[in-house]
Amino acid sequence: MPGPRLLNKVTIVTGSSQGIGREICTQFHEEGAFIVCSDLRPSGQGEDVPTHELITQKGGKAIFVQTDVSKAEDWVSLIAKTVNEYGRLDILVNNAGICTEANNPQPIDEVDEAAFDAHLRINTRGVFLGCKYAIQQMKKQELDASGLRGRIVNFASMVANIGMAGLTGYTASKGAVAAMTKTIALDVAKQGIVANSISPGFTQTAMLDNALGGALSSARDAVLAALPRGRFGEVKDHARAAVYLASDDAAWVTGINLNVDGGLTAQ
């Protein structure tokens, strides 16, 4: 049997307290990584045990660092604490994001400008800052056995590929993440750093519940009927995709946007 795919790899995961981010932390732990959980709070909606405590209870290594991803000073502190704790930074997973528009979609001419700016500040600027300061650290490091100094996995969205009425800020911010990741990949390719993005489709999370109005919503049935695989995504689907992109199996993969959407955008 092969060993863990991320053995002793030091990993920052933003938005770690719930949903996809929490599952990424869990799956990376199971693959042998050391985790730095990064979020505004250690526990998310409906989670009694903070993610870093859950991992340590399972025998893993994890710490929590409170971070506002839209602030450069928080990123500087986060990476400094990571290096102080573990000695290096091998993997950055930029997962943190918001979609406040899902609760109240508005056409472009009615979009609240402050809400639009908030999506760009958190979803796009947060990824930009994370990549900037992580790469500064990664460039200082020696090459690992696979010839890399670092790996970056950014979370975009299916709306990087398709439009979605009423979600102007979210689509703008996530489309920017997918496009920016390609440029980042080119910027650092010769330095032994790879960067890729993942675009999740409709996934069973609290955000989906909020957007579709709960489990009995007719909107939920309509969305489900449009999915080629006939089911919503699960957080593990995206976490395992992140494991692949962060592992040696993807050492020669850079600049891609991996659609994990059950075939939605293939139609």
List the domain boundaries for the chain.
10-259
Nearest to 172 by CA among 237, 91, 101: 101
Residue 195 confidence (pLDDT): 99
Active-site residue, from 86, 133, 170, 244: 170
For residue 216, the model assigns a pLDDT of: 45
What is the pLDDT at residue 228?
A: 87
CA separation for the pair 207, 91 (Å, rounded): 26
Instruction: Give CA–CA dist 197/200, Å, rounded.
Output: 10
Q: What is the mean pLDDT of residues 147-158?
A: 98
The confidence score (pLDDT) of residue 224 equals 81
What is residue 150's predicted lDDT score, i.e. its pLDDT? 98
Angle between helices 126-138 and 168-188 (to 10 degrees): 20
pLDDT tens digits along 223-253: 788 888 888 899 999 999 999 999 999 999 9
Supply the CATH classification number for the domain 10-259. 3.40.50.720
Q: What is the pLDDT of residues 167-215, one digit of tens each?
A: 999 999 999 999 999 999 999 999 999 999 999 998 877 665 555 554 4
Q: pLDDT band at residue 62, thresholds of 50, 70 and 90?
A: very high
Percent of the chain with pLDDT over 70: 94
Helices 235-246 and 19-30: angle between axes, nearest 10 degrees: 50
Give the pLDDT confidence score for residue 215 in this predicted structure: 45
Q: How confident is the model at residue 157 (pLDDT cuts 50, 70, 90)?
A: very high
Q: Is 133 a catalytic residue?
A: no
In this predicted model, what pLDDT tens digit does every residue of 136-152 receive, in sequence order? 999 999 999 999 999 99
Q: Token pair for residue 70?
A: 């839209």
User: What average pLDDT does the chain have?
Assistant: 93
DSSP helix, strand, coil percent of the chain (3-state; round to 5): 50, 15, 35
